Amino acid sequence: MDEVSEVTVPQMRLLFAVHDHGQASCTELAHALGLNGSSVTRLADKLTVSGHLVRTGAQDSRSKVVLELTQRGHEVIDAVLAWRSRELTRVLHHLDADALRSLTASLDLLHDGLRRRHHDLTGPVPL
C-alpha cells in the first residue's frame, strides 16, 4: 500500500468524498465533509499536484469547476477498500455467532441513529 502512505488522512477523506460524490465542486465537498471551502481547495491543490485529482468543467455548466479522481486516485481508493475488506474479514472470522448477532444489532442501531440525525443529506454522512 505504498501509494496510500503518501496521502494524509485529511487528503484521504477528500479522495473518498470525491469517490462517493463523483464530480463535485470544492463547495459541495466542503459541505459534505463539514469543512470550509478554502480547506478543501488547499487539499485539492495538493492532490492535483500529486496526480490523485483533476479539475474539470462540470458537464452541466462549463463555468463550474469540479474535482474528479484520476487513475491514481482510483488506485488509492481501491487499495484502501481492499485493505479494509481484508481486515474486517480477518477480524469478523474470529467472532462467534452470538457476537456477530450482537455486532449486527449494534451497527443497525448506529446506522438508524445516523440516518435520523442526517436525514436531510442526499449523499454520505459527513466524515
- What count of other Cβ atoms lies within 10 Å of the Cβ of residue 89? 9
Reported as a single tens digit per residue, the pLDDT across 26-72 is: 999 999 898 999 999 999 999 999 999 999 887 777 778 899 999 99
Give the Å distances, CA to CA, from 57 to 16, 21, 23, 64.
20, 15, 9, 6
Q: How far is the C-alpha of 52 from the C-alpha of 84, rounded, in Å?
A: 20
Contact 90, 82 (CB under 8 A): no
E-assigned strands of 1-127?
Answer: 53-57, 65-69
Enter the CATH code of domain 2-94.
1.10.10.10
Reported as a single tens digit per residue, the pLDDT across 68-108 is: 999 999 999 999 999 999 999 999 999 999 999 999 999 99
In this prediction, residue 59 carries a pLDDT of: 75
Map residue 93 onto helix, strand or coil: helix
In this prediction, residue 3 carries a pLDDT of: 66
